Structure 1
Amino acid sequence: MSQRQLRIGRIRYLNVLPIYYPMESGVMGRDFEIVYGTPAELNDMMARGELHASSASSIEYARNADQYYLLPDIAIGSCGPVMSVLLISRKPIWELEGETILSTAQSHTSAALLRMLFRDYLKVDVRYETGSVTERLQAGDLPTAALCIGDEALQLRSDGRFPYRLDLGEAWREWTGLPFIFGVWVISRKAVAEGCFTRDPATLFVRAKDWGTANMEQMVSMAADTGYLSKEDMRTYFRGLVYNLRRKEQEGLVLFMQRLAGAGEIPAVPDLVFYDHAAMVPPECLTERDDD
């Protein structure tokens, strides 16, 4: 059976550097293709069949679990302050009643979490509009409050024009006591059914994650070169991130989906169905590298 080169999606944020640098640098070989985009763009590419495996917003899995398998033991989340999913505000958070929050279109999960926190945890009634925070600021049109994610959040977290902040990862942890999983890694069920890949995606991603987290000081130095944060702050940033999808992380993910369902944002809570390379592909697809 002929093999296909694995096409994988990569969000353009520093938080996934420990997972993707080993792939981009050649440490994990080069028999795969990396495609770049925002979380929302990668979700759309997966839905259109343009990628085989990718990071995906947690809400994308919640909405379309029948199209995907989860890759085991890999995720992106936090167990406390996440620093890069941040509400910045010109007014105290408790005084935002009746105000409009500018919400990024780049991450559906972060926007859903923001709505959930204001509605069910903070119990502050606000309105939302979608748009680019950076473009609004460049135009001199300062929103009262704005949801920022990724590198944009790292840049704006100390902006004096917005003295009040709500870290969404920290708020979730205070509310539930559980980690929050912003993104998971998935593989298309259709792609699995269509045949062999040059690499086992589950093995590739977990090995890359293990290499990146074992060489975290190198990741910190590379990330600090962007100038967003000092080296020490970048070290703190990476220390607060979660890259595993084990029992506690799965509990946090399921609770998020249960609350999405309770709010009518998804019809039902899907099962967590994990990809099993050995069980799901024909024996002729297995390679020596996969079995190492």
Structure 2
Amino acid sequence: MSIQLGKIGYLNVLPIYHPLESGLITNDFQIQSGPPAALNNLMDDGKLDISAASSIEYARHPEKYYLVPNIAIGSRGPVQSVLLLSRYPVEELQEKTILVSSQTHTSAALLSVLQNELWKIETGYTTGNATATLEKGERPDAILAIGDEALNLRFHPDYPHRIDLGEAWRELTGLPFIFGVWIVQRESWEASKKTLMDAVSKLIEAKDWGVKNIQQMCTLAANESCLSDKEMCSYFNGLVYDLAKDEIDGLTLFYSHLKKNGLINAIPELHFIP
């Protein structure tokens, strides 16, 4: 059985997927890459066995998935790749409009939580491609940019106010924020438990290798980016790839805020693979 594995198409998961894609860790994965929103849809449609997914995807359909333990993508403060880029101070965005990347689900939900709970503002939203919009000469009031696009746009001269959503979450809660988790289809698990367990072990082995060799990953990622080795290492060093107690506490609290703000119907229990 070939395992269909989803991969977020951003540099921040390079430490996890490079060992698999380069053959450093032998595996039988068929890897499909895409933005978080696309992977969420593929998992929801049952087209992937295991995938990185937005943390909100698990909350929306907990009956469909098991969480993979000991692996996530998040931050314990500034994340650098989930940014609200604004022409105005955040408190002056009241009743203005934010362009939100169409690639994100979790970051858009986090933005809504922060607006309601931390900044106490209400705004309008449009969805689209920030880079294409800026290249056309348009200048939205503010932009929610994620992933590699956020890294590339973070010093845009027309957007002097940069709010890091990972840091804003820490300001609100004092906890890490988990943007993405790895989930397994329950149907796939029931059909092929041993194969899926072996696959999960390979995935976690790859994460451990990547974290142990993070300096090498920085250099490799910088070669594919406009960032220098030093900037890329600063970025990677701010990320967390584990799902330990503090990260689980942060994830659970995020789900509580989603429920409070009407973004999910119920707070899900966290069910890890048996």
Please give the range of the TM-score, normalised by the shorter of the 2 chains. Answer: over 0.9
Match of 1:140 in 2: 137
* Residue 4 of structure 2, aligned match among 4, 7, 10: 7
Q: 3-state DSSP class of the match of 2:63?
A: helix
Matches within 5 A, 1:131-210: 131-195=128-192, 197=195, 200-210=198-208
Q: 3-state DSSP class of the match of 1:17?
A: helix
Once residues 11 and 228 of structure 1 are traced to their aligned partners in structure 2, the CA distance between those partners, rounded to angstroms, is 19
Matches within 5 A, 1:11-50: 11-50=8-47
Root-mean-square deviation over aligned CA pairs: 1.1
Alpha-carbon deviation of 1:199?
A: 6.3
Q: 3-state DSSP class of the match of 1:66?
A: coil
Match of 1:97 in 2: 94
Q: 3-state DSSP class of the match of 2:171?
A: helix
Unaligned runs of 5+ in 2: none
Q: What are the superposed Cα offsets for residues 84-116 of structure 1, whole Å, 9 maximum, x if unpaired?
A: 000101111121111000011111000000011
TM-score (norm 1): 0.91
Q: Percent identity?
A: 51
Alpha-carbon deviation of 1:30?
A: 3.6
Residue 244 of structure 2 is aligned to residue 253 of structure 1: no
Matches within 5 A, 1:265-280: 265-276=263-274
CA contact (8 A) 2:27 2:199 kept: no
Once residues 152 and 199 of structure 2 are traced to their aligned partners in structure 1, the CA distance between those partners, rounded to angstroms, is 33
Alpha-carbon deviation of 1:202?
A: 2.1
Q: Which residue identity does 1:99 align to in structure 2?
A: K
**Count of aligned residue pairs for this structure pair:** 273
Residue 261 of structure 2 is aligned to residue 263 of structure 1: yes
Unaligned runs of 5+ in 1: 277-292
Mean Cα deviation higher: 129-138 or 80-89: 129-138
Larger Rg: 1
Q: What are the superposed Cα offsets for residues 92-143 of structure 1, whole Å, 9 maximum, x if unpaired?
A: 1121111000011111000000011011111122111111111111111111
Once residues 154 and 70 of structure 1 are traced to their aligned partners in structure 2, the CA distance between those partners, rounded to angstroms, is 28
Match of 1:211 in 2: 209
Once residues 176 and 32 of structure 1 are traced to their aligned partners in structure 2, the CA distance between those partners, rounded to angstroms, is 37
Q: What are the superposed Cα offsets for residues 211-244 of structure 1, whole Å, 9 maximum, x if unpaired?
A: 0011111100011112321211111100000100
Q: 3-state DSSP class of the match of 1:171?
A: helix
Q: 3-state DSSP class of the match of 1:106?
A: coil
After superposing on structure 2, the runs of 4+ consecutive aligned residues of structure 1 that deviate more than 2 Å are 195-199
Residue 232 of structure 2 is aligned to residue 234 of structure 1: yes
Q: 3-state DSSP class of the match of 2:201?
A: helix
Once residues 249 and 113 of structure 1 are traced to their aligned partners in structure 2, the CA distance between those partners, rounded to angstroms, is 15
Q: Which residue identity does 1:181 align to in structure 2?
A: I
* Residue 80 of structure 2, aligned match among 66, 83, 96: 83
Mean Cα deviation higher: 192-201 or 151-160: 192-201
Q: 3-state DSSP class of the match of 1:21?
A: helix
Matches within 5 A, 1:110-121: 110-121=107-118
